[in-house]
Amino acid sequence: MSGENRLPAGGRIDRSRKVSFQFNGRTYHGYEGDTLASALIANGVSVTARSFKYHRPRGIVGSGVEEPASLVELEGADASGNQPITTVRIRNGLRVRSVNCWPSPQFDLGAVNQLFASLIPAGFYYKTFKWPDWQLFEPTIRRAAGLASAPSAPPPHGHFETRNAHADVLIAGAGPAGLIAALAAGRAGARVFLADEGPEPGGSLLNRNLVIAGRPATDWVGEVSRELAAMDNVVHLQNATVWAYREHNLLIVNERAPAHETVLERNWQVRARQVICATGAIERPMVFINNDRPGAMLASAAQAYVNRYAALPGRRAVVFTNNDSAYSAAADMKAAGIDIAAIIDSRDCVPAGIGRQVPGIKILKGHVVTAAKGYRRVRSVTVSARNGGASQSIQCDLLAHSGGWNPAVHLFSQSRGTLRYDDAIAGFVPDAPAQSTHSAGAAAGLMALNEALASGARAGHQAASLAGFDADIVEIPDAHEEPYAIEPLWRVEAPGPRGKAFLDIQNDVTVDDIHLAMREGYATVEHVKRYTTGGMGIDQGKTGNINIIGAVAARKGARMQDIGTTTFRSPYTPVSFGAIAGLREGGVHLPYRHTPVTAWNQTNGAVMYEAGARWQRPGYFPCEGEGFQDTVNRECRAVRERVGVYDGSPLGTFELKGRDVGRFLDFIYTNVMSSLQVGNGRYGIMLSDDGLILDDGVAFRVGEYRWIVSTSTGNADAMHQHMERIAQVERPQWEVMITNVTSQWNNATVCGPRARAVVEALGTDIDLSPEAFAFMALRDGTVAGLPARVARVSFTGELSFEINVAPRHMRKLWDAVMEVGAPFGIEPVGSEANHVLRVEKGFLSLGHEVDGTADPHDLGMSWVMSRKKADFMGKRSVALRRAGGAARRELVGLLPVDPNTPIPEGAPLTPKGRREATEGLVTACVWSVANSRWVALALLKDGHSRQGETAYARLKDRVIPVTVTAPVFYDPSGELLRS
């Protein structure tokens, strides 16, 4: 049965398509086109939720995204939490649970909270910070707070997508104002992007029985939609919420049901020349005792349920209002068969035309509802004259109330447009736009249909014209609506009934909470919001915020315009993370960079690491049955005793050309580069101008005005930016051209005592003898039949030849090296072994010894700081930092007193191992195959003068004594790499 409260005909539901779904474990039936809310109302379900803090029974308050009371969690493939019950479309097989109640909203054990209500007013948890210790309360508060749980896996049946778009005119909202604006702009030829959050266009026209040009308004909606669909220059999206308005007219739109098999949601970033906010208005409730009981709902919601969904939210209604709009709701409810017991209007006078809408209905002017009675359902209301007096009780099961309408100024405010308070509608309306923004319809405070159509047409025409598209003003169809009048009543002052009058229904914030916050000194809106959490729920205070401002203003005796609003922030309504990420996950979000040797590495069992800048580099090459340390030791032994090879392609490489490159390099390096001979290279350090080490690397001179500069792998992009900045901004008068050639050169570096023999065996026309090809020289020629540039640089401390070739030749070179090197006992070497070898030599590594505080003097490299150069980047600052005479942390070697005890990298060194401020840290520690023991490098206070002393690494559970030595453990004189 699809509902005891379903009207036999009418509504925008498809009665030929029945739907069955589960709500809190029970099966119900509805129709295609129903929301979860409308289907449950049709099935006579009253209690659909429990409130956040007090666990009071709650029902359905609104009919759209403004819904504050009932949140649900979807289960199964669509798993998703905290959806308002009014926005979920039912479909066969849907399984939904209410959040924040157990076992069910009907009977919820959490209701016990109500017994402690006086202990948990607004901000109660702040008090726990004072005494005794808030950490005692934290776990309990955490468990009690929070609503639904997050899904545990991504949806299996599709993916998310992001798209960029440009538009001449973006229109947010396809109600009457938005539709006619789109028509105007579209006919003028502008590129129009029209987005509306509902499943079909029409906005508020879908919920009401209005007439346009003598026909039902929905007919006009259909007509306009068809004309827009036929225009190539118009993009019209439904189920698409414009959720953010950023700078330079960038807006973000979340399209939730794109017509596509596998795209679940699409997120658009739209850059628009002109924007029209046609976002309508949102009704606000009246504020009185127990205004949160199930059965108390917004008048416009009751109207929507009877008109749009053919569902009766009750049988006998009382309508409570301070404005005209509730009267048409009452008329529609009566026409649907709901008995209207009375309309309680807080105003002393009601315009005559308005009264004519509800013939035969009792109207009590100048009266207010002082309280709702009932617990799981409203059963009656108490009513009295506004200025006090005898009260009467009126029985009802539905209380439809309206406190007025708030123009939806969220997007306009996000764009930094300012607001002003309009006394005529008792609401905040757009004032001065900050970007190319127009507002139309109820969003601009123009509540009547004829006003909405006129302003929408005007805005559409104006926006198109400003974007360069002129046309005649579109004809405005005939529509009449009584002008909207309101006398604001921010709360019902009720001597007599005690109880809670809610301002923010979602977060359980009452009028008393606002008064408490103000008593405690939190009297501005931003403070009140945060102290009480009013407006901070998932509904972002759409129904409650203006009432909160009203309560603050009333308490202070101030005007609404002097209190002002809190800052509006995106998203307007919740957006799934998937939509924001789109396809940017895993390898798409951060793609890896590979060299041509990757395939060979994978075939040969390399364990791949991520080296800086997303490069994939082999860490080590394990053999069958080997442990990690065995593998690293084997690779190190190969390099020290025979020959090894590694792929050095990821290193940053830049080609610098121009008359002034020499002088430029002298400025950015600490040492002199301009004196370098063609065909030679030099190791240098680059400092930032505030004296810290940026990078180290080798620069080669390949011609009089042509250089190759290399940087460390992870730093290449940053160094590119640094060099370009100096060349273009600091020294624009110098002739220096910089080209990033990192991807243009790959290299295989052959290193070890047999390296020369291997390169000879590859076949080359380069004279490799030490006399002809000295350490740090560069030679062009042919190697293994390939054009190559060979450099004698060494990062391992062994005799080393870096063979550079074009990427298209790299694999061939690698295969040749492995084949030719086999009889010499060659092995591929990964970054782990490279790390060991460079530690043995005391070579620097960014992120280890170069930790952002050490300068070249600290690292024992005073030789690299030129004394000849008058100025270079960092020179002045290094001197300045050292001028104070404070102790420096200096690079030393450490030998653990027990040679078989390693020290974790990063371990602190403290005086005598005591629990004190550190005097240094271990920057690297490796098993040295050459020395058959653990060796380490460290930065230690006054390290240079403490050689031979014992220092102490302090770990959590023990202290490790170490002997301080010079930072080199192999070939200190560098004979091998010069051989």
Interacting residues toward other proteins by CB under 8 A: 246-248, 250, 269, 271, 416, 434, 689-690, 721, 724-725, 728-730, 732, 870-871, 875-877, 880, 883
Which one, 741 or 774, has the nearer CB to other proteins? 741
Cβ atoms of 720 and 661 within 8 Å: the answer is no
Strand pairing category for 933-941 and 737-740: unpaired
CB of 741 to other proteins, least distance (A): 14
Write out the two tokens for 702. Answer: 């390949």
CB of 248 to other proteins, least distance (A): 5
CB of 246 to other proteins, least distance (A): 6
CB of 413 to other proteins, least distance (A): 14
Which one, 717 or 942, has the nearer CB to other proteins? 717
CB of 654 to other proteins, least distance (A): 12
Candidates 424, 544, 551; CA nearest to 492 is 551
Which one, 79 or 692, has the nearer CB to other proteins? 692
| Bond from prior residue into 433 cis (ω within 30 degrees of 0) | no
Candidates 633, 674, 579; CA nearest to 269 is 579
Neighbours of 811 (CB within 10 A): 17
Q: Amino acid letter at 360?
A: G
CA distances from residue 674 to 162, 678, 699, 702, 791 in whole angstroms, order as listed: 50, 10, 11, 12, 19
Which one, 248 or 915, has the nearer CB to other proteins? 248
Which one, 373 or 722, has the nearer CB to other proteins? 722
Which one, 269 or 576, has the nearer CB to other proteins? 269
Cβ atoms of 51 and 508 within 8 Å: the answer is yes
Which one, 204 or 715, has the nearer CB to other proteins? 715
Dihedral sign of CA atoms 160, 164, 167, 172 in order = positive
Which one, 732 or 899, has the nearer CB to other proteins? 732
Q: Amino acid letter at 859?
A: L
Strand pairing category for 933-941 and 920-928: antiparallel
Residue 798 CB burial class (10 angstroms; 0-12, 13-18, ≥19) = buried
Write out the two tokens for 131. Answer: 């005494």
Task: Work out the angle at residue 258's Cα, subtended by the Cα atoms of residues 256 and 263, and round it to the nearest 5 degrees.
Answer: 90
CB of 162 to other proteins, least distance (A): 13
CB of 738 to other proteins, least distance (A): 8
Which one, 259 or 870, has the nearer CB to other proteins? 870
Name residue 296's beta-bridge partners.
Answer: 399
Strand pairing category for 959-965 and 778-783: unpaired
Residue 537 CB burial class (10 angstroms; 0-12, 13-18, ≥19) = buried
CB of 866 to other proteins, least distance (A): 14
Cβ atoms of 952 and 938 within 8 Å: the answer is no
The full length of the chain comes to 979
Q: Amino acid letter at 34?
A: D
Which one, 109 or 434, has the nearer CB to other proteins? 434
Which one, 371 or 727, has the nearer CB to other proteins? 727
Which one, 128 or 269, has the nearer CB to other proteins? 269
Which one, 246 or 978, has the nearer CB to other proteins? 246
Which 3 state secondary structure label does DSSP give 918?
Answer: coil
CB of 98 to other proteins, least distance (A): 38
CB of 431 to other proteins, least distance (A): 15
CB of 241 to other proteins, least distance (A): 19
CB of 719 to other proteins, least distance (A): 13
Q: Rounded distance, CA 342 to CA 334, Å?
A: 11
CB of 876 to other proteins, least distance (A): 4
CB of 596 to other proteins, least distance (A): 25
Cβ atoms of 736 and 712 within 8 Å: the answer is no
Which one, 112 or 729, has the nearer CB to other proteins? 729
Which one, 13 or 169, has the nearer CB to other proteins? 169
Q: Rounded distance, CA 128 to CA 116, Å?
A: 16
Which one, 296 or 727, has the nearer CB to other proteins? 727
Write out the two tokens for 758. Answer: 């291997």
Which one, 94 or 244, has the nearer CB to other proteins? 244
Computed on alpha carbons and rounded to an integer, the radius of gyration of the chain in Å comes to: 38
Candidates 558, 560, 576, 507; CA nearest to 536 is 507
Which one, 248 or 956, has the nearer CB to other proteins? 248
Cβ atoms of 401 and 319 within 8 Å: the answer is yes
Write out the two tokens for 2. Answer: 């699809």
What is the three-state SS of 683-726? Answer: EEEEECCCCCEEEEEEEEEEECCEEEEEECHHHHHHHHHHHHHH
Beta-strand ranges (E) seen in 806-948 are: 826-828, 889-896, 908-909, 920-928, 933-941
Strand pairing category for 316-321 and 398-402: parallel
Neighbours of 813 (CB within 10 A): 25
CB of 165 to other proteins, least distance (A): 13
Cβ atoms of 748 and 645 within 8 Å: the answer is yes
Helix 449-466 to helix 176-187 angle (10° resolution) is 30
Residue 114 CB burial class (10 angstroms; 0-12, 13-18, ≥19) = middle
DSSP state of 804: E
CB of 122 to other proteins, least distance (A): 33
CB of 249 to other proteins, least distance (A): 9
CB of 250 to other proteins, least distance (A): 5
Write out the two tokens for 963. Answer: 């002997």
- Helix/strand number for the chain, H first, E second: 24, 49
